[in-house]
């Protein structure tokens, strides 16, 4: 089941990339495993998955011991509270959900204590929905300017969650908006002699093919791989 679903997801990513003349290898598939067991994660890894996404620090912490012999890159895709930054820095290779200066500073603080440079993305609330996490688009430049000064934090891109929509085409404007924001941020970074952002984490089961067409370099897919949550 997981194996067939994964093949189908990868094929759809490939087709979407080819439609817009992108190299499919430029799209990383993060398999989102919230609510799934360590056994299910292990099966996905045996099917060739190397990137696992969780949305709660505690949940990831609980599953990791059973998977310690597998080579896995861990992604924090959910909202991160400042008081969980210490565990998050210990566990995750990439934190997708940095949306405040306060959180970025705490990650800097915790990463410096263990001599790590923590890779992060800035999460942007592109839809402006009140119930969504993520930085307000108007705040993103300010946030970026603070983060690039941190020594133990490496900002590699932006992340967004589109609203839940009936037709995946309705998600397209939010992905396009994130890509445009990346261009804007990169104009600043290049002028200031910093490296440009390369990562765009966008697209979930409902709309990952549209996200790839709009330039996603990371898609975060759970349900299309594991089926509906029990």
Question: In 3D, which of 154, 158, 141 has the Cα closest to residue 195?
Answer: 154
Burial class for 98, CB neighbours closer than 10 Å (0-12, 13-18, 19+): buried
Smallest separation (angstroms) from ligand PLP to the CB of 191: 31
78 binds ligand PLP (CB under 6 A): yes
204 binds ligand PLP (CB under 6 A): yes
Instruction: Decide whether 77 or 171 has the Cβ nearer to ligand PLP.
Output: 77
Contact predicate 215/175, CB 8 Å: yes
Contact pattern for ligand PLP over residues 209 through 228, marking x by CB under 6 A:
-----------xxxxx----
Instruction: Decide whether 139 or 205 has the Cβ nearer to ligand PLP.
Output: 205
H helices of the chain, in order, are 2-19, 38-46, 57-63, 85-91, 101-113, 140-147, 172-191, 208-213, 223-226
Contact predicate 47/6, CB 8 Å: yes
Contact predicate 211/27, CB 8 Å: no
Please identify, among the stretches 84-92, 107-115, 184-192, 204-212, the one whose residues bind ligand PLP according to the rule CB under 6 A: 204-212
- Of the candidates 9, 32, 140, 162, which one interacts with ligand PLP according to CB under 6 A? 32
- Of the candidates 13, 121, 161, 218, which one interacts with ligand PLP according to CB under 6 A? 161
**What three-state secondary structure class fits 171?**
helix
34 binds ligand PLP (CB under 6 A): yes
The site that binds ligand PLP (CB under 6 A) totals a number of residues, namely: 14
Instruction: Decide whether 189 or 222 has the Cβ nearer to ligand PLP.
Output: 222
Smallest separation (angstroms) from ligand PLP to the CB of 36: 10
Smallest separation (angstroms) from ligand PLP to the CB of 139: 19
Rg of the Cα atoms in the chain? 17
How far is the C-alpha of 206 from the C-alpha of 154, rounded, in Å?
Answer: 30
Instruction: Decide whether 98 or 150 has the Cβ nearer to ligand PLP.
Output: 98
State the residues that interact with ligand PLP by CB under 6 A.
32, 34, 55, 77-78, 161, 204-206, 220-224
């Amino acid at each position: 089941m997981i194996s067939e679903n994964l093949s189908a997801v990868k094929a759809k990513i490939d087709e979407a990339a080819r439609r817009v003349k992108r190299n499919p290898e430029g799209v990383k598939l993060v398999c989102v495993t919230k609510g799934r067991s360590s056994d299910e994660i292990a099966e996905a890894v045996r099917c060739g998955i190397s990137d696992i996404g969780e949305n709660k620090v505690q949940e990831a912490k609980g599953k990791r011991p059973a998977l310690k012999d597998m080579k896995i890159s861990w992604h924090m895709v959910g909202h991160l509270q400042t008081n969980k930054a210490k565990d998050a820095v210990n566990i995750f290779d990439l934190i997708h959900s940095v949306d405040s200066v306060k959180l970025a500073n705490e990650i800097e603080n915790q990463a410096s204590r263990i001599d790590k440079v923590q890779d992060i993305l800035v999460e942007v609330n592109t839809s402006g929905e009140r119930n969504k996490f993520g930085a307000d688009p108007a705040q993103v430049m300010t946030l970026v300017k603070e983060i690039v000064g941190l020594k133990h934090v490496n900002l590699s891109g932006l992340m967004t969650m589109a609203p839940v929509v009936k037709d995946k085409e309705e998600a397209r404007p939010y992905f396009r908006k994130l890509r445009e924001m990346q261009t804007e941020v990169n104009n600043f970074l290049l002028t200031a002699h910093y490296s440009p952002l390369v990562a765009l984490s966008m697209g979930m089961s409902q709309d990952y093919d549209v996200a790839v067409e709009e330039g996603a370099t990371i898609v975060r897919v759970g349900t299309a791989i594991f089926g509906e949550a029990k």
